[in-house]
Chains A and B, each alone.
Chain A
Amino acid sequence: VNILGLSADFHDSSASLVIDGRIVCAAAEERFTRIKHDASFPHYAAQFCVEQAGIGFGQIDRIIFYEEPWLKFTRVLTEILSRFPRSLSNFNEAGRGWLTQKLWIHNRISRAFDLHPDIVTFVPHHESHAAQAFYPSGFEESAVVTADAVGEWACGGIASASLTGGIKVLETYDYPNSIGLVYAAFTAFLGFKPNDGECSTMALAAFGEPRYADKVRQVIRQASDGTYEVDASFFDFLGGGRRLYRPRFTALFGEPRRPDAALPFSAVGPAACISTDDKRYADIASSVQLVLEEVMLGLAARARRLTGLDCLCLAGGVAMNAVAVSRLVQERLFTHLFVPPDPGDGGAASGAALLASGRASGPPVPSTPYLGKAYDGRRVLDIVDQLTVEAHHQLPGCRPWSGRLAHELFVEEDALVDAVAEELAGGMLVGWVQGRFEQGPRALGNRSILADPGNAEAAARLSRSVKQRAAFRPYALSVAIEDAPRLLPDVDEQSRTPRWMQSVHRVADAHRNTVQQALHVDWTTRPQVCSPSDNPLFHRLLHAFGARRSLAVLLNTSFNESGYPIVSSPTDALLTFLHTDIDILVIGFAIIRKVR
């Protein structure tokens, strides 16, 4: 049975193909269009899915859309009309989007792929999330907690799931009771872009103290039984953009931060002069992070009570908050915790398809994040000798080079990983493109920029002339599974969350200097514990680097420039390589160098 799952129209449009209960491929539209969080109809992603599976659209048995648009429209309309007569512009804006596009998704899907409309069905948003977390988890049965901004009406929920009984939603938290939207509003208040800059809020939290926690608890009130309620009078969730909060909110927390103002904090170095306002912003971030963790813990405890199960699956955008996930791991409310590689709306396309296939074709097989497209790198190699790049077409601060490229082709894996490890040990920044790209927002060794995590100069160059990244945001770390116990003492063998960078962990004192550039200010890191079965080539590279240092570790960040999605094709990677200060590009078994 071939089932295509789709998500579209809000953010992170995606397609995922499930054949006989197994996810064969999944990709976000942004990887093909180079528009970050692209919300447009996932034409290219769906096209990739059928090509990858070697089938045509005519062989698709069912298409499942990840939410119910009419139900969602009633929520949007209700919210807008409840503000009558002050919501005319919202009504106009929403009316145009919904009446011309979003409401007719059923027909748009059937027309786009030339298929009978009857094979297109919808499933509730949070059930898609529940399925995307449960079915690939490998658990027989599990409690499921979902939390994101908002689906149709539900913003989160608790479900029990089993391979034999399907997914049973036990309770939902309806709009406006959304911890995702509250976190997004704080993100906007702190000067970051909502629905994108939440990771910045999480990173900033480490520099503050939760002095405003009581005030945040006025905004989200949690009862002792784990249920919670949001006081919507502080927010304007219709506001969009950066106007997600009301004057009542600023009366409580003070003036918002200007988006273009620099923050003086640094994850690895000493902070610059910190003003009172900077401290306030860090404290507010810390407070909202703490309250978010409390709410998630409360929900998890409630899920445990309601289901009586030992395993927990987590999904929805809030599950991308790695610090909150770590808190859940530390509190040990459940024996096992699983977070999928793409817990947000992008992965919900997989969830929708799995939901339909989960019981139709028997238990789905546990999944992998390497579900994207693989490319033939040779078409890039035969042009590298013909390129001459002018220095003024690069980001400022890039190291000077001749503008010419040279490449070297390897036959054996060992020689390749040795050569790359040698360059990394020499302080080079390496763009690493191998095989199929990852599902979700985390680079897990197939579309990564790599560096020596102990080299401060390389990390500074990476921040300045590649990622254009604020100093307060830390980088992630990849570590070979054999060295993980030495580096991350609090990670036990049962723990599965460090596998795909889903949680943060403290680094052992003895190794802090070795990996300092991938640490946050609180000596934690967001690790990818890589095993040979996960990604054999990357695992070998880690060990090749480890042979030159005391640990098999690498600083690992996504292969993209600021504002763009992670690269997909070798041409895309080559463009980023040429535009930034990356020294070496590895595509398959070829190394491309900038001739200096």
Chain B
Amino acid sequence: VIRLLRKFVITKLLKSRWGNNPQSLARTLGKFADVEADSSWHYMIAAELMDQPGHRAAMVLTSLEETHHAYLFNRLKSRGGADMVISRKRLLGSAADLPEFLAYSQIAEGQINREFCFIAEASGDEDVRAVIRSISSDEAAHENDAFFLLRQLVPEAQFRRTLRRARWKRSYDNWMELIHSLGSVNAALWLSLIYLTLGWIAAPSCRRRLRPAGGPRAGPTLWRAEGES
């Protein structure tokens, strides 16, 4: 149901918004570029942690493809180079985390891939559609690769458990993203209230403080290491 709702929101509501406001589409494409660059970074870290050269090579190639996807999204967005604003939330710190990472990737790649398909459908721009379709086929391959690599790395019983945990973690992360957005709205309301009730009191003194003083201020400080006279 959530998937269908999401599809409806993207294909119907966002479509009209993007049609009226190209900046909005550009922002979405920029966000995708960030997501792909983030994914590329994670695969690179995974490659550095893996033991088997074959697995490492597979991770490097996946990372390369994700780097290229980030480039394609950025190019569509008509801006030079990546311009990442997200901060990294590292999913793996050691080789022991690799199964969880692969399971999470498998779930996330599938979800992102479906989203890309909705976006391709919603976008009226043929260039955007073509690029997203080509990226989408890579993402489907990444989803499969992660699945089969996970199968090789962990025994059957652990395999299902790991996937289940990853699915829960992904749902939790999505939920937290929503909560964070709601929290931001709540914070904005409180901050606005504080600003509007107290701001006018502080404003005159703040203006006075910023009035040009006409040149430099004498430096009063002499930095001393702690414990010195």
Which residues of A pack against B, CB within 8 Å? 33-36, 38, 40, 77-79, 81-82, 84-85, 88, 91-92, 95-96, 121, 123-124, 127, 131, 157-159, 166-177, 193, 223, 227-229, 231-232, 259-260, 355-360, 379, 382-383, 386-389, 392-395, 468, 561-564, 569, 571-572, 574-575, 578-579
Q: Do the beta carbons of A92 and B81 come within 8 Å of each other?
A: no
Q: Are the C-beta atoms of B218 and A35 separated by less than 8 Å?
A: no
Contact among A40, A259, A393, A571 with B47 in the assembled complex (CB-CB below 8 Å):
A571
CB distance from A160 to the nearest CB of B (A): 10
Q: Which of A96, A168, A395, A561 contacts B222 (CB 8 A)?
A: A168
Partner of A172 from the list B191, B210, B219 (CB cut-off 8 Å) is B219
A35-B86, A88-B195, A169-B220 are known contacts; what are 14 more A-B pairs with Cβ within 8 Å? A82-B210, A91-B191, A92-B187, A95-B194, A96-B188, A158-B216, A169-B221, A172-B216, A229-B212, A232-B210, A356-B225, A387-B61, A393-B68, A574-B60
Quick check: A563 and B80 within 8 Å, CB to CB? yes
Q: How many interface residues does B have (CB within 8 Å)?
A: 63
Q: Total contacts A to B, CB within 8 angstroms? A: 186
Who on chain B is nearest to A356 by CB? B225
Give 4 closest A-B pairs by Cβ, nearest first. A563-B81, A169-B219, A562-B81, A563-B82
Residues on A with beta carbons closer than 8 Å to the beta carbon of B54? 386
Q: Which residues of A contact B199 (CB under 8 A)?
A: 81, 84-85, 91
Do A173 and B191 have beta carbons less than 8 Å apart?
A: no
Report whether A575 and B67 are in contact in the complex, using a CB–CB cutoff of 8 Å: yes
Which residues from B are CB-within-8-Å of A34? 37, 40-41, 44
* CB-defined contacts of B41 to chain A, threshold 8 Å: 33-34
Q: Is the CB of B207 within 8 A of A82?
A: yes
Taking CB atoms and an 8 Å cut-off, the chain B residues in 51-77 that contact chain A are: 53-54, 56-57, 60-61, 63-65, 67-68, 71, 74
The answer to whether B57 and A386 have CB atoms under 8 Å apart is: yes
Q: Is B3 an interface residue (CB 8 A)?
A: no
Measured CB to CB, the closest approach of chain B to A517, in angstroms, equals 21
Within 8 A of A (CB), among B1-43: 37, 40-41
| Given A92-B191, A172-B219, A395-B71, also A571-B48 (CB < 8 A) | yes
Known: A81-B199, A172-B219, A379-B48. A232 touches B225 (CB 8 A): no
- Pick the residue among B48, B188, B217 that contacts A171 (CB under 8 A): B217
**Do B184 and A78 have beta carbons less than 8 Å apart?**
no
Q: By the criterion CB–CB under 8 Å, are A387 and B57 in contact?
A: yes
**A95 B219 Cβ-Cβ under 8 A:** no
Q: A82-B210, A379-B48 are in contact. Are A575 and B79 (CB under 8 A)?
A: no
Shortest Cβ gap from A4 to chain B (Å): 15
Assuming A34-B37, A88-B192, A387-B57, is B203 touching A82 (CB within 8 A)? yes
* A157 to B64 alpha-carbon distance, docked (Å): 45
